Amino acid sequence: MHKLTQKEVLKGLDQKNLDFYLLKTVNSTNTFAKDTNLNKKYLIVLSEEQTAGKGRWGNTWYSPDCGNIYMSIKFKDNTNQAPLSLLIGLLISEAMDEISGNKIHAGLKWPNDLLIENKKVCGILIESEKVSDEIELIVGIGINYALPQKESWWGDIGKFKKILPREKLINAILKKIISYKENGYPDWKAQWEKRCMHKNAEIKIISNNQKEEITGIFKGINKEGSMILQTSDGLKIINSGECSIKGIY
C-alpha cells in the first residue's frame, strides 16, 4: 500500500500558513488537533490509523491502517459564511469530481454524509473549542477506501482507487477548504442542493433521542443549512437531527 507523503499531500499549498503532522498512528486526529496549539492559520493532521476514531453522536469511527483517509483541519472560526458542516461535504464531493474527471457521483445526504451507490463512504465530524476569546474549529474527515469489516450501510471507494488516488483527493480537499476559508463560496446553497440525493424525495426524520419521527418531502435547505420539509402540517424547518431516508440505509 502506498503510504502518504507530505510532498504529495501538500503539493501547491502555501506551506507558510500551515503546520502539518503526518502520523503513523494516533488515537484520533481530531483529538490530536484539539491538543495541539494553533500557531499558524491552519493545522492539518493526517494519520494512517486511528485507535480511537470518533464519529458523530459519540459513535466510534472504525479506523484500521488500510489506506483510508483520517484527517483533521483546525482553524479559527472568524467567518460568518455558509454552515460549515454542509459546506465540507459539498467541497469533498467537488474534489472527488475534479480528481476523477467527473466519474464519481457522490450524493449528499443532509446534513453532511457523502454516499456513493447508496452507501456512506465519508463521515465528517466538526468540533469546536474556545481558546482565549476565540472559537477554534476542528473539521475531521474520514473517507473509506477499504474496510475489512463492514456494516451493511458502509461503503468504500476502493474500486475508484486508480482514478481517485487518496493523496490527490486529500490535496484537492485541502485546497478547496482553504480556498473557501480565504474567499468564501457565494453559490454554496444551490450547489449543495444540486448534489443532494434526496431533493423532493419523501424522507423520514428521526430526532436525536429517537423519540420523534417526522415524514415529509425534502424541499431543500435555507441559508442557515436547515432543511425545509413539507409535511402534512405544512412546511417545517429542521435545524438539527439525523435524517434517515427510506430505502437508503
For 180, list phi and psi in degrees, rounded to 5.
Answer: -60, -45
**Nearest to ligand BTN by Cβ — which residue?**
123
Count, residues near ligand BTN per rule CB under 6 A: 19
When asked if residue 29 is in the footprint of ligand BTN (CB under 6 A), the reply is yes
Complex with ligand BTN: residue 53 or 225, whichever CB lies closer: 53
Strand order in the sheet with 18-23: 18-23, 42-47, 69-76, 134-143, 119-131, 113-116, 107-109
243 binds ligand BTN (CB under 6 A): no
Residue 74 touches ligand BTN, criterion: CB under 6 A: no
Min CB(21)–ligand BTN separation in Å: 13
43 near ligand BTN, rule: CB under 6 A = no
Is residue 171 within 8 A of residue 11, CB to CB? The reply is yes
Cell numbers linked to 95: 474534489
* 61 touches ligand BTN (CB under 6 A): yes
Candidate list 9, 10, 18, 30; residue touching ligand BTN; CB under 6 A: 30
Pairing relationship of beta strands 42-47 and 18-23 according to DSSP bridges:
parallel
Asked if 124 touches ligand BTN (CB under 6 A), the answer is yes
Least distance (Å) between residue 183 CB and ligand BTN:
25
Q: Which residues contact 118 (CB under 8 A, 6 or more apart)?
A: 155, 248, 249
User: How many residues does this entry show for the chain?
Assistant: 249
Q: Which of 53, 107, 155, 216 binds ligand BTN (CB under 6 A)?
A: 53
- Closer CB to ligand BTN, 28 or 100, in the complex: 28
Residues in CB range of 77: below 8 A, 6 or more apart: 128, 134, 135, 136, 137
Q: From the CB of residue 146, how many other CB atoms can be counted at a distance below 10 Å?
A: 14
Is 158 an interacting residue with respect to ligand BTN (CB under 6 A)?
Answer: no
Instruction: Identify which of residues 54 and 166 has a Cβ nearer to ligand BTN in the complex.
Output: 54
- Supply the minimum distance, in Å, between the C-beta of residue 128 and ligand BTN: 14
Using a 10 angstrom Cβ sphere, with 0-12 exposed, 13-18 middle and 19 or more buried, the burial of residue 220 is middle
Tell me how many degrees the CA angle 194-232-196 measures, rounded to the nearest 5.
10
Task: Give the binding site for ligand BTN (CB under 6 A).
Answer: 28-30, 50, 53-56, 59, 61, 70-72, 123-125, 140-142
